[in-house]
Structure 1
Amino acid sequence: MSALEAPYSADDIEARVLAAIRVAGFDPDRCLAPVELAVLGHLRPGGFRASRVLRDLAKIRAEDRILAVGAGLADPARMLAAFPGCQVECIDLSSDYGVAALRETLSGYQA
């Protein structure tokens, strides 16, 4: 892990995400909708609602391509991939979060 990545790293984030999914009453092996996964993410002020408001203000359409920089667990990216169904590419400094986001997406909802 690089010195640049270290402050953004989270030990065992994948295991913590799967545990949180179970605690929230969901089966991590079932396809979960972005709104269900939103219980675990959207850790910015305003949460899932703010992500929807920003999506609407930006007038994002299905044909748009989005780059999510500092995507973390990719909750807003997953929401945009589901509705309006646009292509979203995510990057993050932390490989831990990237692995967890990919696991969450592959075991959860895919648009």
Structure 2
Amino acid sequence: MAKQINETGYRVVVEPKLLEAFWYRGILGDKGAAQRLKDLRSLADQIADQIKRHVDGVGNIEVEAETEAVCSHCGSGWTEESAVYNGGCCAEDEGSNPAYVARACGEAI
């Protein structure tokens, strides 16, 4: 039997105009990434408030963050199932290699 995808419901997704409004026109200037994210969160909250005030038939509205998993040492994208070892993306990560840790503790691999 093959995997089948069935539609089970629908929702409306609203995305703010970010790239052309902020980065390409330089409105945010030289602010750091953390400040840009705070500004974008504020913009998303403002849009959500505007939708609540001006759109009928809205059952629920939430602002959700997009996330990405990265190595806390070097910032490389996370590629492994393990929560502590990312395949040796950097020297610090390699120190968390389960095979290395097991050997260091004298355990059988």
> What range describes the TM-score normalised by the shorter chain of this pair?
under 0.3
Q: Which has the larger radius of gyration?
A: 2
Between Structure 1 and Structure 2, the one with more helix by share is 1
Between Structure 1 and Structure 2, the one with more strand by share is 1
Normalising by structure 2, we get a TM-score of 0.26
Normalising by structure 1, we get a TM-score of 0.26
Name the structure, 1 or 2, with higher relative contact order (CA <8 Å, separation 6+): 1
